[in-house]
């Protein structure tokens, strides 16, 4: 595994759950329905002698994940894990994007039509797939070449090997559309150096491939131009030994360091502000800094935070803070509660309003509800974190196979 001196001394590599047992019967191929066949061209399969690759193939939609795509990915990975002829698996995207996150427009229309069951199904399947990735029995590789946003990180970062390139751009801009970083983001963001995770989650700021290596989100780095060589080499492997796969990935890798403009060189300043207890304190401290020193970085960061949904900011900060002390499955369970509360509009319709403003009407002028931080009460935030009380609703809580697939703490 490649090592980058910068920042590695202040953080340990992410460790992910490994499965200890599973009770599914063997099946060489998933059981497809007619509707699954219609989306096979959106998740392509590439077979090698001892490996399989899932290729996200919606380049015109930046490889955004639809519900059928998530379902197909989950079935494929379950099948490949059970197939003794397959030693390891790989995921990549077609075009210039790995995965731009969830395809939220269908969710937007479903919510407005009163059909939240489709949203439950989408988030349930997505989070179960993320847990499958984080507890996978076999070595799994994600080549995060290009844009990797939102749950694009969730379907890749929990895996064993994460390859970043000079084209990689990672971002979690969910608070800008009235949502929260989900699909395991509260787990891996909370384990970044200092309070970098809070900063990324509350601002939507981007990281490049070099920065991902430096803070442990990626395990390997290579130039985009060398990806073909890496894929050719690992495609010939016959071993399921992680060490052999790791060495093959590293063969065409590069030793890289964040440049002087990297946000990682501002860790002390990030900790100073984003380590504070509340969103109000974070904003007040940066406002004071801007007033006293006219710090340009603080001014830009402050504007990014203030553009987001006030409710989402408070929910996201609490979610990241709780994630520091929770396992992957516990984080996914909490994120599922938050997501379902968001799509139900029980407290606020900010999720739909954010999508409307950025993706539907594109006026970029969301009318957040509540509009100000001081109007967001503790009861409002608590509602998003509370377990469901409807015993008749079997989908109100996320059910993960933790007894069969033991999570890492």
Is the residue at 17 inside a domain? no
Please tell me the pTM assigned to this model. 0.87
Q: Do the domain assignments include residue 14?
A: no
Residue 373 covered by a domain: yes
DSSP state of 360: I
To the nearest whole number, what is the mean pLDDT of the chain?
A: 87
DSSP 12-71: PPP---------PPP-SS----HHHHHTTTTEEEEE-SSEEEEEE--GGGTTPBPHHHHH
Residue 112 forms part of a structural domain: yes
Element (H, E) at 127: helix 116-134
Residue 27 lies in a domain: no
Split at pLDDT 50, 70, 90, the class of 21 is very low
Higher pLDDT, 206 or 393: 206
Assigned domain for 405 exists: no
pLDDT for residue 129:
97
Residue 63: inside a domain:
yes
The answer for residues whose C-beta is within 8 angstroms of residue 383's C-beta and 6 or more apart is 341, 346, 347
Q: Which residues constitute the domain of residue 187?
A: 37-385
- For tokens 């399969």, name the residue: 45
E strand or H helix at 147: strand 147-149
Nearest to 202 by CA among 215, 186, 184, 218: 186
pLDDT tens digits, 333-361: 999 999 999 999 999 999 999 999 999 99
- Write the CATH number for 242: 3.90.226.10
Specify whether the CB–CB gap between 364 and 370 falls below 8 A: no
Identify the CA nearest to 132 among candidates 321, 332, 383: 332
Using pLDDT thresholds of 50, 70 and 90, give the confidence band for residue 19.
very low
Number of domains the chain contains: 1
Edge-first strand order for the sheet with 43-47 is 43-47, 51-56, 88-93, 140-144, 161-165, 220-222
Predicted local distance difference test score (pLDDT) of residue 53: 95
Q: Using CA atoms, how far apart are residues 59 and 42, in angstroms rounded to an integer?
A: 9
Judge whether 398 lies within some domain: no
d(CA 89, CA 240): 10
The string of pLDDT tens digits covering residues 123-173 is 999 999 999 999 999 999 999 999 999 999 999 999 999 999 999 999 999
């Amino acid at each position: 595994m490649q090592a980058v001196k910068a920042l590695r001394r202040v953080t340990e590599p992410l460790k992910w759950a490994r499965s200890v047992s599973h009770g599914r019967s063997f099946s060489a191929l998933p059981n497809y329905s007619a509707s699954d066949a219609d989306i096979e061209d959106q998740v392509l399969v590439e077979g090698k002698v001892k490996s399989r690759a899932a290729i996200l193939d919606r380049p015109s939609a930046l490889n955004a994940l639809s519900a059928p795509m998530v379902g197909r990915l989950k079935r494929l990975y379950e099948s490949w894990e059970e197939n003794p002829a397959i030693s390891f698996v790989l995921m990549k995207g077609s075009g210039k994007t790995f995965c731009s996150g969830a395809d939220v427009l269908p969710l937007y229309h479903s919510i407005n039509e009163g059909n939240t069951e489709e949203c439950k199904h989408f988030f349930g399947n997505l989070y179960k797939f993320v847990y499958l990735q984080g507890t996978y029995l076999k070595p799994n590789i994600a080549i995060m070449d290009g844009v990797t946003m939102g749950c694009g990180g969730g379907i890749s970062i929990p895996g064993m090997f994460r390859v970043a390139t000079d084209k990689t751009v990672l971002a979690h801009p969910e608070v800008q559309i009235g949502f929260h970083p989900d699909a395991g983001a509260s787990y891996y963001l909370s384990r970044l150096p200092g309070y970098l995770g809070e900063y990324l989650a509350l601002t939507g700021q981007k990281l490049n491939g070099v920065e991902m290596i430096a803070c442990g989100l990626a395990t390997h780095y290579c130039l985009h131009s060398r990806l073909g060589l890496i894929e050719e080499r690992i495609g010939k492997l016959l071993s399921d030994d992680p060490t052999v796969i790791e060495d093959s990935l590293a063969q065409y890798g590069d030793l890289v360091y964040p440049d002087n403009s990297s946000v990682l060189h501002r860790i002390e300043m990030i900790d100073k502000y984003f380590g504070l207890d509340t969103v109000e304190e974070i904003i007040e401290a940066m406002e004071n800094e801007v007033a006293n020193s006219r710090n340009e970085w603080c001014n830009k960061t402050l504007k990014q935070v203030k553009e987001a949904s006030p409710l989402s900011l408070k929910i996201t900060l609490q979610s990241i803070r709780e994630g520091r002390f929770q396992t992957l499955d516990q984080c996914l369970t909490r994120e599922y509660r938050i997501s379902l509360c968001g799509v139900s509009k029980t407290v606020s319709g900010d999720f739909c309003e954010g999508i409307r403003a950025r993706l539907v009407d594109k006026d970029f002028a969301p009318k957040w509800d509540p509009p100000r931080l001081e109007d967001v009460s503790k009861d409002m935030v608590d509602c998003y974190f509370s377990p469901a009380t409807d015993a008749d609703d079997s989908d109100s809580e996320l059910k993960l196979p933790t007894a069969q697939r033991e999570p890492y703490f």
